[in-house]
Structure 1
Amino acid sequence: MIQKRSRIKINTDLAKIRQAGKNPQEVQKELLEFFEKRGFEYEVHVGYLHQEEITREKAQQIADELKECGLAKFVHDFYVYDVDGKIVVLGDENKECIFTINEQI
């Protein structure tokens, strides 16, 4: 049986990080810890890897947890890719700093 795996690529908003008086490296470290606690591994130039398929519902759960811990305000957008590199979920920030999850076609 072939196991599906996914990856998440996050783009942070450097201006918002600096406006909040935070160190960009510290925010990246917090994001790394956030994802590692949820079973992800990090690979440079690839993003956060997960050994299971990330569904739309799972992506929404991750977005909600990012909001709860205060990290969502520093994330501009994120993409969920399947094992073949196809974007399956796109999360982006609207004007109220809340993520909306959009299915990709």
Structure 2
Amino acid sequence: MHILQIYESSEDDGKKLKRREKNRVAAQRSRKKQTQKADELHEVFESLEQENSLLRKEVQILREEHRNLIEALKAHEPLCPIIHRTVNLASSPRSEAIVCCLPR
């Protein structure tokens, strides 16, 4: 083998080693970045799950309140003077008629 060939071969090996090291570092950086992104997505997921749970509880509370208000209205209907009034409501302002059946 010629000395120049040995030198070029040694130089090529050095370039290959540098390229491999650079590639290894880049791969590590890429994996770290992927891990960080996955961690961030997991945090967002956890936050959204918690928010979703709170909203579901709020919806349940509002449904219960709605049900209670419907029941209160049904209980009030038989006693309501406005519904059973035979007098023409045009003679008195509607707001007064509604206020008169509300508790004071």
Bigger Cα Rg:
2
Structure scoring higher RCO (CA < 8 A, sep ≥ 6) equals 1
TM-score (norm 2): 0.24
TM-score (norm 1): 0.24
The structure where helix makes up a greater share of residues is 2
